[in-house]
């Protein structure tokens, strides 16, 4: 059990986070408050919604409905599960995720700020999910690129965890991305089941609530308080420096249709005490629904031995030796998408 007594370092962090939150709250509110189009999307019937209407509705639901539920994810040979507490006030979200499988682990998220408690190693990892802003901007801008690469199937209805759901299907227009079937709770638009589909329609990955209490009594303040109970834990922040890929000597000579650069970082990997620290470039791309990370390391024959393509559920991984460098491409995309990225990547220094 974590003590409620916070160390001075953590208090400083909390104060800084609180100050930051206060400073950016109006901005966050402005960014996350549903635009007129999203509000209208909530009222539109399922048959009338566009791709962006559906997405805006799902996002709005996560800002307006509290819930407690159990989530099960089936991907490849892996079955994972977590218990979720979700609180929100229309602009802010606080979430607690307790893993029920694998190593004991509690993850807390306040908007894009994430703390992960690893109870076995007594480490708490603090991160910021900057990619959330990219997807928010995509919805705010009412970007039409999603409709350019995905086709909206005829909506249907179903039931998940005892709740009535609208079912919508997004079919890729080319073979560079997977399709999706999404169940959203009929009244709120909350995502309650999500399938990732291969080109032949088979299910590669499924995530669904097996049990869900909508509008459960979940206190944002209580979750925030739990998030601050870090006494006895060592706080770690992965070193993450935003960089420009071209300045680091990398260009994508031939782009992959639909995939835009989201972020590029230099990061040190291996937060565990025994792990050897090393700097890796991570160049992130997304088409709005699927993401690809290109990790580029200096080649080390002791660590980099096996080139190839690997798959687990919807996640594919490509590893490749490129002269003095070693590329690891990861994404929830078909194998050929990663191959296209690998072929387009070039060293310009």
Of residues 80-119, those binding another protein (CB under 8 A): 80-82, 84, 86, 93, 95, 97, 99-103, 105, 107, 109, 114, 116, 118
Look at residues 323, 245, 236, 315 and name the one whose alpha carbon lies nearest to residue 281. Answer: 245
Q: Where are the beta strands (DSSP E) in 156-288?
A: 156-160, 163-172, 179-185, 191-197, 203-214, 234-236, 240-242, 250-252, 260-269, 278-286
Specify the residue, 7 or 344, whose C-beta has the smaller distance to another protein. Answer: 344
In the window 309-328, what residues touch another protein (CB under 8 A)?
A: 309-312, 315-318, 320-321, 328
Specify the residue, 25 or 336, whose C-beta has the smaller distance to another protein. Answer: 336
Name the strand (E) or helix (H) holding 348: none
93, 110 contact by CB (below 8 A): yes
Backbone angles phi, psi at 341, to 5 degrees: -65, -45
Q: At what angle do helices 36-43 and 51-64 cross, to 10 degrees?
A: 90
66 lines the binding site for another protein (CB under 8 A): no
Specify the residue, 1 or 103, whose C-beta has the smaller distance to another protein. Answer: 103
21-29, 203-211, 214-222, 226-234 -> range binding another protein (CB under 8 A): 203-211
160 lines the binding site for another protein (CB under 8 A): yes
Among 148, 279, 343, 348, binds another protein (CB under 8 A): 343
Specify the residue, 13 or 167, whose C-beta has the smaller distance to another protein. Answer: 167
Among 46, 206, 213, 299, binds another protein (CB under 8 A): 206
235, 9 contact by CB (below 8 A): yes
Among 90, 201, 232, 249, binds another protein (CB under 8 A): 201
216 lines the binding site for another protein (CB under 8 A): no
37 lines the binding site for another protein (CB under 8 A): no
Residue 179 to residue 51: CA distance in whole angstroms:
13
We find the least distance from the C-beta atom of residue 5 to another protein, in angstroms, to be 26
Residue 322 to residue 94: CA distance in whole angstroms:
42
Q: Report how many residues bind another protein under the rule CB under 8 A.
A: 116
In the window 225-264, what residues touch another protein (CB under 8 A)?
A: 238, 240, 253-254, 257, 262-263
29 lines the binding site for another protein (CB under 8 A): no
233, 123 contact by CB (below 8 A): yes
State CA 210 to chain mean position distance. 21
Among 175, 219, 279, 348, binds another protein (CB under 8 A): 175
Specify the residue, 40 or 342, whose C-beta has the smaller distance to another protein. Answer: 342
Name the strand (E) or helix (H) holding 41: helix 36-43
62 lines the binding site for another protein (CB under 8 A): yes
346, 250 contact by CB (below 8 A): yes
């Amino acid at each position: 059990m974590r003590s409620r007594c916070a160390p001075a370092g953590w208090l400083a962090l909390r104060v800084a986070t609180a100050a930051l939150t206060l400073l950016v709250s109006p901005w966050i509110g402005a960014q996350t408050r549903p635009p007129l189009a999203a509000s209208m999307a909530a009222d539109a019937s399922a048959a009338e919604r566009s791709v962006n209407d559906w997405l805006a509705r799902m996002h709005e639901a996560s800002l307006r409905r509290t819930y407690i539920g159990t989530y099960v994810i089936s991907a490849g040979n892996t079955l994972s599960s977590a218990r979720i507490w979700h609180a929100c006030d229309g602009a802010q979200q606080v979430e607690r995720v307790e893993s029920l499988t694998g190593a004991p682990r509690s993850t807390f998220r306040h908007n894009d700020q994430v703390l992960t408690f690893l109870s076995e190693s007594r480490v708490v990892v603090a991160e910021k999910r900057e990619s959330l802003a990219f997807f928010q901007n995509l919805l705010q801008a009412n970007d039409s690129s999603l409709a350019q690469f995905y086709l909206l199937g005829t909506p249907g209805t179903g039931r998940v965890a005892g709740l009535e759901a609208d079912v919508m299907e997004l079919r890729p227009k080319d073979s560079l991305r997977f399709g999706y079937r999404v169940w959203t709770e009929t009244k709120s638009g909350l995502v309650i089941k999500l399938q990732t589909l291969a080109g032949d329609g088979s299910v590669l990955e499924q995530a669904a609530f097996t049990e869900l209490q909508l509008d459960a009594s979940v206190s944002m303040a209580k979750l925030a308080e739990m998030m601050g109970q870090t006494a006895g834990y060592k706080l770690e922040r992965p070193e993450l420096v935003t960089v420009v890929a071209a300045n680091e000597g990398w260009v994508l000579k031939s782009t992959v249709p639909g995939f835009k650069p989201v972020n590029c970082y230099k990061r040190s990997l291996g937060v565990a005490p025994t792990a050897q620290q090393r700097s890796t470039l991570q160049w992130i791309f997304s088409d709005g629904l699927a993401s690809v990370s290109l990790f580029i390391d200096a080649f080390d024959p002791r660590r980099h031995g096996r080139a190839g393509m690997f798959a687990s559920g919807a996640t594919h991984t490509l590893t490749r030796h490129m002269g003095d460098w070693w590329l690891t491409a990861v994404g929830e995309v078909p194998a050929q998408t990663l191959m296209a990225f690998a072929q387009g990547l070039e060293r310009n220094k």
